[in-house]
Amino acid sequence: MTAVVTVATAAPYDVTVGRGLLPAAVDSLPEGAVRVLVVHSAPLRDRADELKGLIEATGRTPVLAEVPDAEEGKTAEVAAFCWRVLGSSDFTRSDVVMGMGGGAVTDLAGFVAATWLRGVAVVQIPTTVLAMVDAAVGGKTGINTTEGKNLVGAFHEPSAVWCDTDFLRTLPANDRVAGLAEVVKGGFIRDTRILEIVEAETPALIAPELDEHAMEVLEELIARKIRVKADVVAADLKESHLREILNYGHTFGHAIEYTERYQWRHGAAVSVGMVFVAELARLAGKLDDAAVDRHRSILTGLGLPVTYPGHRWDALLTAMKRDKKTRGDMLRFVILQGIGNPVRLEGPDPALLAGAYDAVSR
């Protein structure tokens, strides 16, 4: 099964979900591109060589840039390395960057493309569940700094995204499950059918190896979550209003990542973050007990964490004040007023925040 989701922004592009898509990804390279920078992580060296051969077969010149895996690759130093490769290889405005890897790699590749010559084309080949449903779609690019995650970045939409689910067969189960946190988020904020599928298919989704049925379920969930994001991004590319709903669970989740120096998987941190804002919504009188319990049930069923150590509130609060959604000194959270109905909560009473933290503390 191949699904195509169009992200209908001012410069529309397609996100394709299916198997064996690398040849099609190469065929989608912009006409006129002579050189192609393939930014990839070290574990994907063999697949990058495969992609290099496919690019060479079209008469173009591929250049490989291997970068550190995960968040270690999202630094100014690594971006500068990529810029040096582009400069030494004489890349022009008609050339293109390809990002092949997890969310950190696609974020980095997009940022490098956005900043080289004030913007060159980027084609994304996400290889993890998280990257497919979140990082590679929507045009957000960025790198981390010592002050926080994604504080330096740019909006730079890809010309195409190719979600080749063959990569998921060798993805460690823990990384697959961590990516499902973002899928579940899409169910809580808009497509509630996602939640029903996850609840019914949890054993298949968390199995050590993916059989054919599990692959089909996963592909449907990925396509559904991408549609959620595509609809939101088409209405609000630069996060001026609606797009903020995609940050459900992220303010607290990013604070965990920062406090843990990015040693937590993003999906694990967002999982706790979703339970935190569910508890916050309950305390604010917006969400009933059953909806909060459903958060815990779905996430723990997948093996995701729903608690965090109880002695780090001051550090987390400081980190949340650096969040991109904060305005001045006012914290802003996306909460639910019923499942599928996200709203914004601005400047909540500190007692509510402390109460929500107590509810997720261990």
For the stretch 118-153, pLDDT in tens is: 999 999 999 999 999 987 788 889 998 888 778 899
- Say if CB 218 and CB 177 are below 8 A apart: no
Task: Tell me: is residue 92 an annotated ligand-binding position.
Answer: no
Does one domain contain both 198 and 319?
Answer: yes
pLDDT of 236:
67
Q: Is 327's pLDDT higher than 60?
A: no
Q: What is the CATH number of the domain that holds 347?
A: 1.20.1090.10
Burial call 212-236: b when 16+ CB within 10 Å, e when fewer? eebbebbbbbbbbbbbbbbebbbee
Give the mean model confidence (pLDDT) for residues 4-26.
94
For the stretch 64-73, pLDDT in tens is: 999 998 888 8
- Say if CB 74 and CB 135 are below 8 A apart: no
Task: Tell me: is residue 170 an annotated ligand-binding position.
Answer: yes
Share of the chain above pLDDT 90, in %: 83
Q: What's the angle, vertex CA 243, arms to CA 238 and CA 248, rounded to 5?
A: 135
Does one domain contain both 104 and 192?
Answer: no
pTM: 0.92
Of 170, 201, 220, the one marking the end of a domain is 170
Does one domain contain both 338 and 196?
Answer: yes
> What are residue 121's DSSP bridge partners?
96
291: tokens are: 């909806």
Does one domain contain both 211 and 137?
Answer: no
Task: Tell me: is residue 283 an annotated ligand-binding position.
Answer: no
Does one domain contain both 128 and 217?
Answer: no
pLDDT of 138:
84
Does one domain contain both 121 and 15?
Answer: yes
Task: Tell me: is residue 225 an annotated ligand-binding position.
Answer: no
Does one domain contain both 222 and 147?
Answer: no
Q: Strand, helix or coil at 40?
A: strand
Does one domain contain both 133 and 224?
Answer: no
Does one domain contain both 160 and 244?
Answer: no
Of 118, 142, 170, the one marking the end of a domain is 170
Does one domain contain both 270 and 323?
Answer: yes
Q: Radius of gyration (Cα) for the chain, nearest Å?
A: 20
pLDDT of 148:
77
Q: Which residue range(s) make up the domain with 86? A: 3-170
Total structural domains within the chain: 2
Looking at the annotation, which residues are catalytic? 118, 140, 182, 229, 239, 243, 247, 250, 254, 266
Give the mean model confidence (pLDDT) for residues 228-244.
79
Does one domain contain both 86 and 194?
Answer: no
